[in-house]
Amino acid sequence: MENNERITPQRESEWDPEIRELFERMGYQNEDDLYNILKTLAHHPKMFKRWLPFANHVLFKSSLSPRIREVIILRTGWLCQSEYEWTQHVRISREEAGMNDADFEALEKGSKDPHWNKEERAALRAAEELHSDKYISNIVWEEISQYFDQTQTMDIVATVGNYTLVSMMLNTFGVQLDGWLERYERFSGG
């Protein structure tokens, strides 16, 4: 998939007061602290401000364990062929969920890889069906219900939905990897 930069991340000198205030509330002092995705979304402050609370829930306040959350996010990023999403969450999953190279390689195959335990496989199957069908079948719903309560199953759907949207924005806007991110050599998309 081509990844031409279509929307250039905003420079700090371009920030309007609304975006400056938002970034300051998020704890960022200058553009060097910010990810390219945030600087790109700064071009549309109203959308950015409305999306952020939902994204914050999915990433920081979800009922899912950090490992299950990251397994779902990474598989979604892989299926959406979003190198930025994948690369960013490889870093996050190492730090917050203790994931490793064996996990990342198994995510390329997803639920069919024998690497996963039954809970992880169920979450992956749900993510894969949501990606392909925009729906979880009764069979997979019964499977995930063995491991996740109703709130968690809702968070699984919300996680796939949010990171599908994010991947679509990243891919379409051509958001480039942040310079400090280590490129995943095997990334070539789903």
Query: CA geometry: angle at 101 spanning 100 and 104, to 5°?
Result: 95
Please return the burial class of 53, using the count of CB atoms within 10 Å of its CB with bins 0-12, 13-18 and 19+.
Answer: exposed
Q: Looking at domain 65-173, what is its CATH homologous superfamily? A: AhpD-like (1.20.1290.10)
pLDDT digits (tens, 9 = 90+) for 28-74: 878 888 999 999 999 999 999 999 999 999 999 999 999 999 999 99
DSSP symbols for 133-181? HSS--HHHHHHHHTT--HHHHHHHHHHHHHHHHHHHHHHHHTPPPPTTS
Could you tell me the pLDDT band of residue 148, with boundaries at 50, 70 and 90? very high
Residue 139 has pLDDT above 70, yes or no: yes
Residue 10 has pLDDT above 70, yes or no: yes
pLDDT score of 190? 45
Domain extent listing, the chain: 12-59, 65-173
Q: What is the pTM of this model?
A: 0.94
Could you tell me the pLDDT band of residue 184, with boundaries at 50, 70 and 90? confident
Taking a C-beta distance cutoff of 8 angstroms, is the pair 71, 147 a contact? no
